[in-house]
Amino acid sequence: MKKAILISILLVFILSTPVYAQEQDPWSEVFLPDGSLNPSLIDLGETSEAVDWMTIDLPFGQSIELEANYHRYQTESGNMVVMPSASTLFFMAVNAEESGLADSYESIGNGHANMINVLGRLVGDNLDWNKVQLDHPEYKQPDQFWSAVINGEQDVWSYFSGWSFITQLKDVSLDDAAYRSIYLLYLNGTQTCTNLPGQCSGVVIPLVTTHICPEPTIAIQEAMLVIEKLSPAYPLVIGQDTQLRRGADVEISITIPPVIFTWYEPIYEEREICRSAGASESPNCNTGSGSLVDDGVHDIERIFKECREHVEHLPDAVTSLQANAALDAGSQAWIIGTLGQTHYEAYLHHPSFSLVPGLAPWSGGCAGNGTCTASSLILRIPVEDPGTYLLGMDIRTSGTQFQGVTITYPRQLHQDGLMNVYVTLPAITQ
Amino acid sequence: MREIFLSKQNIVYSILLGLLIAIGIIVLQNWTGHVEDSKRTAVADQDAAQQASVAVVQFFQIDAQQGKDEWLHQLCALSTKAGCSLFTENADHLWKNYQQFEINTSAQVIQTQKVAEVDNEQIWTINIHLSAPLPGSNKVDDVAYVLMQHTEDGWKLDRFLFEKEIEVIEQQNMQKKNLQEVGE
């Protein structure tokens, strides 16, 4: 009990929030000299959030909340690196203040040059450059205009010459190499994570040294998330599956390795000494400083001996899991359009549905070694419409704690998968 | 050979007459083309207005018992591919409320007006009347700003406009109106 209290006091001291000096170029801890990402970055994964600045207000007080999506990393010193999806980047740029873009340090390289370049590509010819020049002759190049937009000095909405490109932005994949160069840096982002894009999801609380022992370290290993069709190889729609009533099986598995928290406990040796007596103390020993009578008092001195390493495997348990399947827009269009032309009254029966908890529950737990797992097996899903289904899974974790002290915030993780469902169509042969 | 005498005055009249005939032919040709263009534009606008009305009615015609899937199915048939994706991926929040409050409304279009267009895109305002209010509002009459896109399958609903887009369009139309008034 006494030891636990001591450890807690020590941890509170160790975990007190520091203010980091940014003497070097902060990008130097994000990228190695060869341009690759520094392996010491903590990969916080992808996170999504509904934000006001991406909301479409509808009549009658309704709204459609589009989700902002980011991939985030945390640096050793507590800075945060945020990589927004293409559509998120667009909305961040045109809402620089509200989105927090204005608070970012700058893009890698020449200011926001990369971001301006990408924005130019995303918007393309939909920026009415003639109108911009007419109203603002001070901008000689589109780059100057975009720079003013990002800095919150220029409104852009008056200068679009089309509208549908905004709807199509969300189909630009985050994996598209062209858009991979946009990294936003938030200095000391871990301290102000509630105001960050993506907030505090999975953020590791920064640690400082005791100056006696090495500073504690936290290692987060990437979670393994899988959502996939298990069998059969070619699932058929329910109407053509009447004999076997096989449907499709989808498997979900999540493995979250433990957060490795390594901290060092200073170990002291005690020895008896004779120290100088205070004014109110009665001397009972000789300090050996040359006095012929007792001039000191007996006491115990703590002498630093070593740093004892403690490695904790902290479980980050799954606390919620939801999974859905939705027929993609191309398949929906095919059913209504192409199939509808040859098959009378072809229509969508059930294009989106909940897998978990809709069709099956999930279960999970953590092993003694700190590894947490969760899984669900959704068997014999009676799929009614043929085509490609987008499988999506959202999970939330508990975060990690040690001796009552939070080490990492809860994580929000997302994983996509695909499932093809087939239909056999009669062919007329001559 | 007989010599024809033309006075200077007659030569001027002849040239003027020729010019008048040429101008007349050009004006007539352009006017006919303009009328045909106007007719084509009017038909296209009529189609777009009709499709916009049907799509907006579908969007606000809510039957919580029938459910989101059926609603989406009908809405996607009236929407662009990107629009269908947008509605499909982001309708959960709307429908959670609709089902919680067991909403059952019908919608009626009162008025339509084209407020902007470029190439194959048009913005329409649709005045709608609902038979019953939706969750979180007491209104039964409101205006929707919708983006219609002309696809190979005709005019389709792409999305509703963002607030900032609406502000810009209203501002531009106000400026146009003011200019017209000054001109008159």
- For the stretch A234-288, pLDDT in tens is 888 887 776 667 789 999 999 999 999 998 888 888 888 898 888 888 899 998 8
B92/chain A closest Cα distance in angstroms: 9
Residue B33: the pLDDT is: 62
Tell which phi-psi region holds residue A60, choosing left (phi > 0), alpha (psi between -120 and 50) or beta: left
Three-point CA angle A159, A163, A167, nearest 5°: 130
Is A57 an interface residue toward B (CB < 8 Å)? yes
Residues A295, A283: Cα–Cα separation, whole Å: 5
B76/chain A closest Cα distance in angstroms: 8
Is B44 an interface residue toward A (CB < 8 Å)? no
Residue B35: the pLDDT is: 62
Q: Which is higher by pLDDT, B112 or A427?
A: B112
Query: CA A311 → CA A216, A255, A259, distances in Å?
Result: 10, 20, 10
Residue A12: the pLDDT is: 44
Nearest to A162 among B72, B119, B161 (CB): B119
- Provide the angle, in degrees to the nearest 10, between the axes of the packed helices B81-90 and B68-77: 160
Q: Calculate the CA A423 to chain-centre distance.
A: 38
Q: Identify the weakest region by mean pLDDT among A89-103, A106-120, A176-190, B135-149.
A: A106-120
Residues B156, B147: Cα–Cα separation, whole Å: 9
Instruction: Kindly report the three-state secondary structure assignment for every residue of chain A.
Output: CHHHHHHHHHHHHHCCCCCCCCCCCHHHHCECCCCCECCCCEEEEEEEEEEEEEEEECHHHCEEEEEEEEEEEECCCCCEEEEECHHHHHHHHHCHHHHCHHHCCCCCCCCCHHHHHHHHHHHHHHECHHHHHHHCCCCCCHHHHHHHHHCCCCCCHHHECCCHHHHHHHHCCCCCHHHCCCCEEECCCCCCHHHCCCCCCCCECCCCCCCCCCCCEEECCCCEEEEEEEECCCCECHHHCCCCCCCEEEEEEEEECCEEEEEEEEEEEEEEEEEECCCCCCCCECCCCCCCCCCEEEEEEEEEEEEEEEEEEECCCEEEEEEEEEECHHHHHHHHHHHHHHCCCCCCCCCEEEEECCCCCCEEEECCCCCEEEEEEEEEECCCCCEEEEEEEEEEECCEEECCEEEECCCEEEEEEEEEEECCCCCCCC
Inter-chain residue contact A353 with B69, CB threshold 8 Å: yes
Q: Tell me the percentage of chain A whose pLDDT exceeds 90.
A: 24
At B67-104, the pLDDT tens digits run 888 899 899 999 998 999 899 888 888 998 898 889 99
Q: And the tokens for A425?
A: 């169509």
Rg, chain B, Cα only: 27
Q: B-chain residues within 8 Å CB-CB of A157?
A: 164-165, 167-168
Q: And the tokens for B43?
A: 């038909």
Q: B-chain residues within 8 Å CB-CB of A60?
A: 60, 130, 133-134, 137, 139-140, 142
Contact call for residues A154 and A135 (beta carbons, < 8 A): no
Classify residue A204 as exposed, middle or buried by CB count within 10 Å of its CB (0-12, 13-18, 19+): buried
Is pLDDT of A177 > 70? no
Inter-chain residue contact B90 with A326, CB threshold 8 Å: no
Is pLDDT of A20 > 60? no
Confidence tier at A6 by pLDDT (50, 70, 90): very low
Q: For the residues A225-240, what does the mean pLDDT come to?
A: 88
Is pLDDT of A350 > 90? no
First to last CA, chain A: 87
Classify the complex by whether its ipTM is higher than 0.90, answering yes or no. no
Residue A16: the pLDDT is: 40
Is A134 an interface residue toward B (CB < 8 Å)? no
Residue A11: the pLDDT is: 46
Residues paired with A297 in a beta bridge: A275
On average, the pLDDT of chain A sits at: 83
Nearest to A163 among B88, B137, B165 (CB): B165
pLDDT digits (tens), chain B, 184 positions? 556 666 788 888 888 888 888 888 887 777 666 666 666 666 668 889 999 999 999 999 999 988 888 899 899 999 998 999 899 888 888 998 898 889 999 999 999 999 999 889 999 999 999 999 998 888 999 999 999 999 988 999 999 999 999 999 998 888 888 887 777 6
Residues A193, A179: Cα–Cα separation, whole Å: 24
Strand ranges (E), chain B: 107-118, 121-130, 141-151, 154-160
Inter-chain residue contact A164 with B142, CB threshold 8 Å: no
Residues A99, A88: Cα–Cα separation, whole Å: 9
Nearest to A329 among B85, B118, B119 (CB): B85
Residues A249, A377: Cα–Cα separation, whole Å: 7
Inter-chain residue contact A348 with B149, CB threshold 8 Å: no
Residue B50: the pLDDT is: 93
Q: Calculate the CA A348 to chain-centre distance.
A: 35
Chain B, nearest residue to A338 by Cα:
B153
Q: For the residues A57-81, what does the mean pLDDT come to?
A: 89
Contact call for residues B85 and A329 (beta carbons, < 8 A): yes
pTM exceeding 0.90 = no
Residues B118, B62: Cα–Cα separation, whole Å: 32
The DSSP line for B105-129 is: --EEEEEEEEEEEETTEEEEEEEEE
Inter-chain residue contact B77 with A336, CB threshold 8 Å: yes
Residues paired with B108 in a beta bridge: B129
